[in-house]
Amino acid sequence: MDLSTSLTLVRPELILSFSSLALLLIAAWRQDAGRLVSILSVAALVGAGVTSAQFLAAGTDATAFDGLYRADAFSSFAKILIYIAAAVALVIAPKALEKMGAMRAEYPVLVVLAAVGMGIMVSASDLLTLYIGLELNSLAAYVLASFARNDGRSAEAGLKYFVLGALASGILLFGMSLLYGFTGSTSFETIGQAMAGEIGTGLLFGLVFVLSGLAFKISAAPFHMWTPDVYEGAPTPVTAFFASAPKVAATALLIRVTIEAFGSQAQAWQQIVMVVALMSIVIGAVGAIGQQNLKRLLAYSSINNIGFLLIGLAAGTEQGISAMLVYLAIYVAMTLGGFICLMQLKGRDGEMKEGMADIAGLSKTQPLLAAAFAVFMFSLAGIPPLFGFWGKLVVFNAAIEAGMFPLAVIGIAASVIGAFYYLKVVKTMYFDEPADAVDASDDKVLSWSGGALALAVSPLGYLAIPALTAVTAQAAGALF
């Protein structure tokens, strides 16, 4: 395959890479150009998203660079989600970061670089590409976590994220080296072929280590410990970013590795995925109950949601994967919405509020904000008629179809435990007396984007089901 065809296929990454380099130059000379760079970055993300959408519409399914990189419907769908989430994270950030004195021009550049890494992750069809993408994303993310450099908590979050992330990367690399050693290749396809039939302990170890490393990246239990601390410490716009785009990328990567590389050994990883899924659901639900900090609560909520996502993977069927993609799309909308609501909690002195006590009686002082937050909470809990219910439904449907009844029953029973803490947030906002700790936010961008997302996860979202089903089916079909 010649270079020009390969370059056409990596167009989204090219657009983002070159724009990030150019924007870095602007940032180097104009330190105060944060907003300008943000706008240009969003434009670059939109451009890359449009390219991916073109690929998706054209049904592109090809490999580039001699099998290192794959452009198919699956990667295009995941990229669109990633770029949208990253763009939203950029749009909502400036005012909040300015308040912290952290709105520097590097912020959008780092987000774009992370998006490049994530794009490579979801397109990787070789362990090497996988690792490059993962590290590009992670390194940008470590810096982003500690972006509010005057804030001790933020620095701590960055350091923690870095140390634990490096550990996870080590585990992943170790697993990859085992896979390479026992199969003689780093390409997913060849590994898949080599794994057919009986596999030895060495390969099994490789598989377990790779899955553990990836479980860390998606913050699935029992590799979730970093999540609450990093989410709490990082500046809220950054947390919103962490909870959305990288989750999509890491999940998509996990799907591709398990299906394409380990597809022939489904029974070997299905048990692992099942246990991880149920542990995440339960730990995410139980851990959140006592939280007094809303960012930590949302962190546990993301662990909980990853558990539900993994139920689709445990099913291991095409329908399960398509259900995961539906869930991911809805999850991104819900979680971004939740964080946007959180960012609008502005204290009397203009500082950001994030405690459970601060939202007491919010429905009396700021009814619209409280209503939007309640919509996101009920939706995350999967209560119909909100759109989050549909995500849970398709995932459980896939598990039922695959005949995994115990998994479905335990998972859905545990979702009731999860409902408790979402209800607690609603209770605090609606049933308690106003704490009067929060002022009306003056950030119009946040109100509009939060309102739009609330409408998207409201019952109106059901109108998107036919389109969403078709696109995710196409994307999942590319893997099988």
Partner 1 sequence: MNAAELPILSIMLAVPMLGAIACLFVRDEMARVLALGATLLNLVLGIWLWASYDPAGAQWQFVESAQLFGPIGWKLGIDGISLLLIMLSVFLMPICIGASWRSITERVGLYMASFLLMETLMIGVFAAQDLLLFYIMFEAGLIPMYLIIGIWGGKDRIYASYKFFLYTLLGSVFMLLAMLWMIQQAGTADIPTLLNHDFPAEAQTILWLAFFASFAVKMPMWPVHTWLPDAHVQAPTAGSVILAGVLLKMGGYGFLRFSLPMFPEASAQFIWLIFGLSMVAVVYTSLVALVQDDMKKLIAYSSVAHMAIVTVGLFTFNQQGIEGAIIVMLSHGLVSGALFLCVGVIYDRLHTREISRYGGLSINMPKYALFFMLFTMASVGLPGTSGFVGEFLSLAGAYKVSTWATLIATTGIILGAGYMLYLYRRIAFGEQVNADAAAMPDLDKRELWLLAPIAAAVLWMGVYPESFLAPIRRDVATIVDRIERAAPAGDSKLKENDKTTAKYRVHAHGGEHQNKAEGAAH
Report the interface residues with partner 1, using CB under 8 A: 363-364, 367, 378, 383-385, 389, 393, 396-397, 400-401, 405, 408-409, 412-413, 415-416, 419-420, 423, 426-427, 430-431, 462-463, 465-466, 469
108 near 238, Cβ under 8 Å?
A: no
Enclosing H/E stretch for 250: helix 236-256
Looking at the Cβ atoms of 212 and 415, the one nearer to partner 1 is 415
Q: Is there a contact between 246 and 302 (Cβ–Cβ < 8 Å)? A: no
> What minimum distance in Å lies between the beta carbon of 429 and partner 1?
10
Angle at 36 between CA 31 and CA 42, to 5 degrees: 125
Other beta carbons within 10 Å of 284: 28
Q: Return the number of the residue (197 or 466) whose C-beta is nearest partner 1.
A: 466
CB of 32 vs partner 1, minimal distance in Å? 41
Distance CA 160, CA 350 (A): 28
Toward partner 1, which CB reaches closer, 402 or 453? 402
DSSP bridge partners of 64: 69
State the pairing for strand pair 438-439/62-64: unpaired
Q: Nearest approach, Cβ of 329 to partner 1 (angstroms)?
A: 14
Indicate the residue among 228 and 382 with the shorter CB distance to partner 1.
382
Sign of CA dihedral 356, 361, 367, 372: positive
User: Smaller CB distance to partner 1: residue 43 or 463?
Assistant: 463
For 30-40, letters b (16+ CB in 10 Å) and e give eeebbeebbeb
With beta carbons less than 8 A apart as the criterion, state whether 402 and 320 touch.
Answer: yes
Beta carbon nearer to partner 1, 301 or 415: 415
Which residue number, 8 or 458, has a Cβ lying nearer to partner 1?
458
The CB-of-33 to partner 1 minimum distance in angstroms stands at 41
Which amino acid, one-letter code, is at 172? L
The letter for the amino acid at 21 is L
CB of 385 to partner 1, least distance (A): 4
Is the four-CA dihedral 460, 466, 467, 470 of positive or negative sign?
Answer: positive
**How far apart are the C-alpha atoms of 210 and 261, rounded to whole Å?**
11
Least distance in Å: CB of 319 to partner 1?
10
Q: Which residue, 74 or 389, is less far from partner 1 as judged by CB?
A: 389
Dig out the tokens for 258 from the structure. 């398990």
Residue among 164 and 473 whose Cβ is closer to partner 1: 473
Q: How far apart are CA 467 and CA 26, in angstroms?
A: 40
For 403, left (φ over 0), alpha (ψ -120 to 50), or beta?
left
Least Å distance, CB 266 to partner 1, is 20
For residue 338, the minimal CB distance to partner 1 (Å) is 17
CA-only gyration radius of the chain, Å? 21
To the nearest whole angstrom, how small is the minimum distance from the Cβ of residue 428 to partner 1? 10
